[in-house]
Amino acid sequence: MELMRFPLYLPGLKAAGNNGISVIAADIGGTKTNLGWFVSEDQKMILKDEATYPSKDYNSFSDIIKDFIKNYNLELPDAISIGVAGPVIDGKCITTNLPWSLDVTLLKNELRVNRVELINDLEATAYGLAEVNDGYLATIHKGNPNMHGNVAILAPGTGLGEAGLFWDGEALRPFATEGGHSEFSPRNKTEVEFYEYLNSIYGIVSWETVISGPGIFNIYRFLRDVKKHPEPAWLTQKFEEEGDPSAIISHTAMRELDPTCSLAMEMFVEFMAREATNLVLKLKATGGLLLGGGIPPKIYNLLNKDKFHQNFIVSDKMEHLLKDIPIYLILNSKTALMGAAYYGAFGK
C-alpha cells in the first residue's frame, strides 16, 4: 500500500543555512521525558543520541537537560526544541500532569542556548509526520481521504491530547488544542451512572478522565465497585504486586483472561471512538484521523475490530462524511520527539 504523506508547513526546510543544525529535542510527558540529540542533514533530522528520564524524579526540565548533556558529553546545541503536555502561551507552559513550569526566556538564560522552542506535545506529534516511512502508520480504516483536507490527532496516554492540522492551500499547519479537558457526555443509563460515579470523585468529568491510562482504571473500578462485577483473587493480587492497574487491565483484556477487564476495554474503545468523532466533526478533518499517544499501539487489536469504526461513524446527520474519513494508528513511539526536532530546525 502506498504510504500516506502529510505535506507539512516547515518554512526552513529548504534553507541552505539550516543544514548541520544541532537540536536537543524533548518530548515531556507526565510519566517520562524523552530526549534526543539530532543533527539536520539534507532536509532530514538524524538522531545521534537519545535517553529517557522518569519525569517525576526531577524538580525541573532544566535538570534533565543538564544530566543529558553531561552523561553523553555533548556540546551546547544550536537549539533546544520542546514538546510538552500542556497549554503553551507566549513561550510559557505550566505542565498539566507535572509540577513544572517552563519559560523560554528563563530556559535560554539557564541553559545558555540561543534558541529555545516550546510547543504542545501533540503539535510536536503533528510535525513528526514529516518522517513517515514504512512501519510508521497502520491503517484502521482506508476511507476516501480529501488530500487537501484538515487532519485530526487524538492521543490517549497519561492524559488525553488532541490537535489538528489545517490545510492552508499549500501545506498542513499543526495547531494544539486542550479538547481533552472538555466535558464528557454520557449517552445511556449505564453511562449516566458512570458519570455520576466520576462526578462524585472529580467534580468536573473531562474526556481525559475517561480516555487515558487513569481513565481505563476509572472504567474498571466503576464496573467492579458500582456495577458489582467480580474481581478474581489472582487479579487483586496482580494489582497489589505490580501497580499500574491500567496496563494490567488492558493486557488482561487483550488476552481475554477476565470478563470485567474485557468489558472495561470495550467501553474505553467506544468512548475513544466517540470523542474521535467529536474532534473530526469540529475540525472537519476530511484529510484523516490519526490515533497517537502511548495507549493505542498497545491495544491495536481492539482498535482494528469493527466496533471502533462502527462507533466512530455514529452521527445524527454526518455518517456519510465520517465513513470517508481514513483512520491511521501512529506506531512510532518517537513521533513527538522527531516532530520537536523538525520544528526546532525547520519550523521558522
| DSSP per-residue letters across 130-181 | GG--TTSEEEEE-----TTS-EEEEEESSSEEEEEEEE-SSSEEEEE--GGG
Q: pLDDT digits over 76-134, tens only?
A: 999 999 999 899 999 999 987 788 999 999 999 999 999 999 999 999 999 999 988 76
Task: Tell me which long-range contacts 73-76 makes (C-beta under 8 A, separation of at least 24).
Answer: 74/24, 74/37, 74/49, 75/22, 76/111, 76/112, 76/113
Whether residues 180 and 202 share a domain: the answer is yes
The C-alpha angle with vertex 191 and arms to 158 and 316, in degrees rounded to 5, equals 100
244 located within any domain: yes
Q: Is residue 79 part of a domain?
A: yes
Note whether residue 10 is domain-resident.
Answer: no
Q: Are residues 223 and 109 in the same domain?
A: no
Is 108 in the same domain as 191? no
Q: Which residue has the higher pLDDT, 163 or 16?
A: 163
Express each pLDDT in 268-286 by its tens digit: 999 999 999 999 999 999 9
- Asked whether residue 60 falls in the same domain as residue 165, the answer is no
Can you give the pLDDT at residue 104? Answer: 98
pLDDT of residue 197: 99
Residue 113 placed within a domain:
yes
Q: What is the pLDDT of residue 14?
A: 81
- Using the structure block, give the residue that is written with the C-alpha cell 500532569: 97
Residue 342 is assigned to a structural domain of this protein: yes
Contact 326, 151 (CB under 8 A): no
263-268: long-range contacts at Cβ-Cβ below 8 A with a sequence spacing of 24 or more?
263/223, 263/229, 264/216, 264/219, 264/220, 264/223, 265/216, 265/299, 265/302, 266/302, 266/307, 267/219, 268/210, 268/211, 268/215, 268/216, 268/219
Give pLDDT, residue 195. Answer: 99
For position 189, what pLDDT does the model report? 98
Is residue 162 located within the same domain as residue 307?
yes
Looking at residue 280, what is its pLDDT? 99
Instruction: Mark whether 254 and 282 lie in a shared domain.
Output: yes
Instruction: Considering only residues 144 and 4, tell me which one the structure prediction assigns the higher pLDDT.
Output: 144
| Domain presence at residue 320 | yes
Q: In whole numbers, what is the pLDDT of the chain averaged over residues? A: 95
| pLDDT score for 1 | 47
Decide if 124 contacts 334 (C-beta within 8 A): no
Specify whether 216 is located in the same domain as 298: yes
pLDDT value for 30: 80
Same domain, residue pair 100 and 219 = no
| Residue position matching grid coordinates 529555545 | 116
**For residue 16, what pLDDT is reported?**
74
- Angle of helix 61-71 versus helix 104-111 axis, rounded to 10: 30
pLDDT digits (tens, 9 = 90+) for 138-194: 999 999 989 999 999 999 998 999 999 999 999 999 999 999 999 999 999 999 999
Question: Shortest CA distance to 215 belongs to which of 246, 192, 188?
Answer: 246
Determine the Cα–Cα distance for residues 271 and 290; give it in Å rounded to an integer.
16
- pLDDT (0 to 100) of residue 3: 60
For residue 309, give the 3-state DSSP assignment. helix
Using pLDDT thresholds of 50, 70 and 90, give the confidence band for residue 7: very high
122 and 163 belong to one structural domain: no
Q: Which DSSP symbol is given to 89?
A: B
Strands 160-167, 172-176: pairing kind: antiparallel
Q: Residue 2 has what pLDDT?
A: 56
Cα separation, 244 vs 229, in Å, equals 20
Q: By residue range, what is the domain housing residue 96?
A: 16-129+334-346
Instruction: Tell me the C-alpha distance between 102 and 65, whole Å.
Output: 13
**Rg of the chain on CA atoms, in Å:** 21
Q: What is the CATH number of the domain that holds 194?
A: 3.40.367.20
Q: How many Å apart are CA 216 and CA 249, to the nearest integer?
A: 8
- Whether 9 is in a domain gets the answer no
> What is the number of structural domains in the chain?
2
CA dihedral 257, 261, 266, 269 (to 10 degrees): -110
Is the pLDDT higher at 278 or at 15?
A: 278
Asked if the structure places residue 7 within a domain, the reply is no
Q: 3-17, 187-201, 253-267, 322-336: which range is least confident on average?
A: 3-17
DSSP 8-state assignment for residue 207 = G
pLDDT at residue 96, as a whole number: 78
**Which residue matches cell numbers 467506544?**
270
User: How many CA atoms, within 13 angstroms, populate the side-chain half-sphere of residue 337?
Assistant: 20
Residues 316 and 339 in one domain: no
3-class SS at 203?
coil
Residues 296 and 192 in one domain: yes
Are both 147 and 117 inside the same structural domain? no
